[in-house]
Structure 1
Amino acid sequence: MGGKPKVSSKIIPLASPKGPEKLCELCQRVARLQCTECRATFYCDEEHQQADWVGIHRRICQLLVPIRTQTFLSLQRAGQIVTQQKKAELIEICRSVAQQKLSEGKHQEALPAAQFCLRCSIDVHGPNTVQLVPAYLLLAEANIGLGNVSRVAELLSQAEWSVLKSPDCGHAVHHRLHRSLGRLHMATGNLEQALLHFANDIYFASEAFGLDSTITCRGYFLMADAFAKQGKTPIVRSLYSEVTQIWHCHLTNLLENRIQNAQNPNVLLDSSYDNQSDKAQQVEVDDMLRTMLEFEQKDPRKDPAQVARVAHCLAMMWFLAGDSRKVNHLTTLGIKGWFDTVTQFPISSLCRLKIGLSLIGEVVKIRWELVAGDETVSTLLTSTLVSSLRTKLFGRRMFVSVGSNSSDVT
């Protein structure tokens, strides 16, 4: 479907069935227009129809017809169950769309999907239930991006109340609530309260997903942002290092599994991000890693190894996404980082040298994948890198016995 809604038509009172007054889908004011496709959605003006179309309606237009059109069957018990099931499906669609738009920074466009998600959740689960919390948090995140702090506080207050009434709700719900509260306090400049909520976020996330989970490490990143605003650079550097380590391990495992499962080398270049939730995560992780990379590059005490590891994370992520252009640039940056790291080590430190060579090998592996498994090219790349490393380190030939604890320099 295109970016513009189908032509709307004015509501003709005499042609409409008796019942409650028609209200605008977005603002709940009296409606004057209706969608000509589903004829079950109404708007106060063309501006709100356009906003709803872009935000969510073009995805769910026809799905609303059986839900909002009363029939004899829909009034029966079996029909009501089917309707509730369809609403539950709509909740997931709206949640996914809203999350995708939020990850892309499209906060205004995320509002219609988040609002519809909340209304459907109330219809399915009832008011003031813990199942409404995810929808409250989506709406809150959209409003944080738009600067509507008072609305965010109201939504999170409702979410907190729902959680307090459900003491048995899971750790995952608590983690998401504290993360949103931390973001609210960041927006208002209350850094101490933000840090307290981010600490709770990390605790509950680690209970739900594990201490080394990529979900948990997002809390580390947000906490680092608060410390950065306080000027506590050493703490920021430490937290960023932990985030990088977790993502490096996660992406390395994904890449190795991808290589092992590929029957055809060309399959390696296909994208692993095929659904909206994966793409939303990709955008979020890319923004997080690039923020850390920029921090390291601007830091006077720049750590080349950290620069290289973050660049490697980005390269692996974009390789899995099928973007070879970005991978080429990032692997080059990663290799430079490893060179800069190894040149800081003393010649006698064979152990550190082995680590440097091993890390360079990780970057080479990605380039090997980009040439679809050509061992000749892989060998050439490795040889070139090691030769350059020798020259950069010592300006002459060097022999390293990888299988022993000694090295000979000639």
Structure 2
Amino acid sequence: MRKGSLSDRSDSPKLPFIDASEERIFQRKQALVKQKQTIEQLESAAKRQFVEDQHDLAYATGTQLLKVAIEAYGMSSVQLISPYVLIGSAALGLEKIPQAEKYLSQAQWILLRHPGCDATFTSLVCRHLGLLYMSQGNYERARKMIADDIYHLTMKYGIDDVRVAMGYYHLGNSFIKEGRLVVAVSLHDRVIQMYLDYFQSDEVAKATEFALNENEEIECDKMLQHIRDAWEDDPDDVKSESFIRLYKCLALLHDRRGNKALMLEYADKAMQVNQSLPTPSAQLVQDLTALINASRS
């Protein structure tokens, strides 16, 4: 029999059969994995740009994020809520109110299409709609939305959880804008106490339950600095004990962030106010002395 006959070919090894539909599914899964990685990178970058007040960059990055998220998840997925809120918030920071309203309304529309979705998404939309209404001078409507934000996070995490603090902060700001400083001080005092409790809680509990990331620490610093500015500009409505809590909280935050100079500055301020009290707190002096000594070791 001549070389290359049919009988010879029948003995040659066969290539494995690959179903075309299975190959397409595999490729689609691989593409989705890459898209999710891109989404995570863009979302992280946009959030960092936003907290650093780089609103123009956050707006551009958020727009890229939205495009990739739509390709990955479709037009009405709950996964689009965060990109829409990021773009809307950046637009608000740029004082582009119509664009902010457009994107935040889109996030709200998706939320309404998914009743019962995670409370984190619901609170996110409520909070930023509240900030939109506040920028428009509609304080009653703003407070309603921010109260909803607080409600949903409280139901998920608990009434005193530090993740609820930002809602109370914005609620306090709405009263500042109306000149109702006594109410604002009360709400901001609650914000400070939430962070103070968190910073003073057991490290193991923080590690197992919830830990602030770097962006959240920056946001915390911005909130506390804003409260400090407001209180120091008009100290008559603020009790000395509230100033002590604020300065101690700032000292603990900057100790956590490794800024020794600011930690010492705020620890000193707290002790100065403490010494002006009729009955200074010995516990405060003990706590802050221990903090200062630990930073020197």
Shorter-chain TM-score: which interval? 0.7 to 0.9
Aligned residues: 272
**Structure 1 segment 274-353 matched on structure 2, within 5 A:** 278-298=213-233, 299-341=235-277, 343=278, 345=279
Select between 290-299 and 115-124 the one with higher mean Cα deviation: 290-299
Q: Does 1:161 align with 2:97?
A: no
Counting helix residues as a fraction of each chain, which structure ranks higher? 2
Runs of 5+ consecutive residues of structure 1 not aligned to the other structure: 1-71, 262-272, 346-352, 373-410
Please report how far the alpha carbon of residue 168 of structure 1 lies from its aligned counterpart in structure 2 after TM superposition: 2.3
Instruction: Quote the residue 2:70 is aligned against.
Output: 122
Please report how far the alpha carbon of residue 172 of structure 1 lies from its aligned counterpart in structure 2 after TM superposition: 1.2
Query: Secondary structure of 2:272's match?
Result: helix
Instruction: Quote the residue 1:14 is aligned against.
Output: none
Tell me the amino acid that sits aligned with residue 177 of structure 2. K
**Residues in 2 aligned to 1:139 and 1:216: alpha-carbon distance in whole angstroms:** 22
Please report how far the alpha carbon of residue 93 of structure 1 lies from its aligned counterpart in structure 2 after TM superposition: 1.0
Cα deviation code 1:29-63 (max 9, x no counterpart): xxxxxxxxxxxxxxxxxxxxxxxxxxxxxxxxxxx
**Residues in 2 aligned to 1:325 and 1:286: alpha-carbon distance in whole angstroms:** 15
**Structure 1 segment 179-198 matched on structure 2, within 5 A:** 179-198=127-146
Instruction: Quote the residue 1:358 is aligned against.
Output: 283
**Residues in 2 aligned to 1:242 and 1:145: alpha-carbon distance in whole angstroms:** 26
Tell me the amino acid that sits aligned with residue 328 of structure 1. L
Tell me the amino acid that sits aligned with residue 231 of structure 1. G
**Residues in 1 aligned to 2:237 and 2:92: alpha-carbon distance in whole angstroms:** 33
Percent identity between the two aligned chains: 23
Please report how far the alpha carbon of residue 209 of structure 1 lies from its aligned counterpart in structure 2 after TM superposition: 2.0
Say if 1:227 and 1:235, in contact at 8 Å, map to a contact too: yes
Say if 1:205 and 1:215, in contact at 8 Å, map to a contact too: yes
Please report how far the alpha carbon of residue 104 of structure 1 lies from its aligned counterpart in structure 2 after TM superposition: 0.6
Query: Secondary structure of 1:300's match?
Result: helix
Q: Does 1:257 align with 2:203?
A: yes
Tell me the amino acid that sits aligned with residue 145 of structure 2. H
Please report how far the alpha carbon of residue 138 of structure 1 lies from its aligned counterpart in structure 2 after TM superposition: 0.5
Scaled by the length of structure 2, the TM-score of the pair is 0.86
Instruction: Quote the residue 2:54 is aligned against.
Output: 106
**Residues in 1 aligned to 2:232 and 2:110: alpha-carbon distance in whole angstroms:** 44
**Residues in 1 aligned to 2:58 and 2:237: alpha-carbon distance in whole angstroms:** 40
Please report how far the alpha carbon of residue 295 of structure 1 lies from its aligned counterpart in structure 2 after TM superposition: 2.4
**Residues in 1 aligned to 2:107 and 2:36: alpha-carbon distance in whole angstroms:** 20
Please report how far the alpha carbon of residue 279 of structure 1 lies from its aligned counterpart in structure 2 after TM superposition: 2.3
Query: Secondary structure of 1:127's match?
Result: coil
**Residues in 2 aligned to 1:371 and 1:161: alpha-carbon distance in whole angstroms:** 53
Please report how far the alpha carbon of residue 296 of structure 1 lies from its aligned counterpart in structure 2 after TM superposition: 2.4
Runs of 5+ consecutive residues of structure 2 not aligned to the other structure: 1-19
Scaled by the length of structure 1, the TM-score of the pair is 0.63
Please report how far the alpha carbon of residue 150 of structure 1 lies from its aligned counterpart in structure 2 after TM superposition: 0.6
Q: Does 1:371 align with 2:264?
A: no
Cα deviation code 1:222-257 (max 9, x no counterpart): 00000111111111111011111110010112xx53
**Residues in 1 aligned to 2:37 and 2:270: alpha-carbon distance in whole angstroms:** 43
Tell me the amino acid that sits aligned with residue 286 of structure 2. G
Cα deviation code 1:93-147 (max 9, x no counterpart): 1111111110010000112221111111111110022221011000111100011
Instruction: Quote the residue 2:191 is aligned against.
Output: 243
Say if 2:185 and 2:237, in contact at 8 Å, map to a contact too: no
Say if 1:296 and 1:306, in contact at 8 Å, map to a contact too: no
**Residues in 2 aligned to 1:227 and 1:247: alpha-carbon distance in whole angstroms:** 21
Q: Which has the higher contact order (CA 8 A, sep 6+)?
A: 2
Q: 1:226 to 1:301 in 2, by over 3 A?
A: closer
Instruction: Quote the residue 2:80 is aligned against.
Output: 132
Tell me the amino acid that sits aligned with residue 74 of structure 2. G
**Residues in 1 aligned to 2:40 and 2:158: alpha-carbon distance in whole angstroms:** 25
Cα deviation code 1:349-370 (max 9, x no counterpart): xxxx5xx111221211210111
Say if 2:182 and 2:237, in contact at 8 Å, map to a contact too: no
Q: Does 1:212 align with 2:160?
A: yes
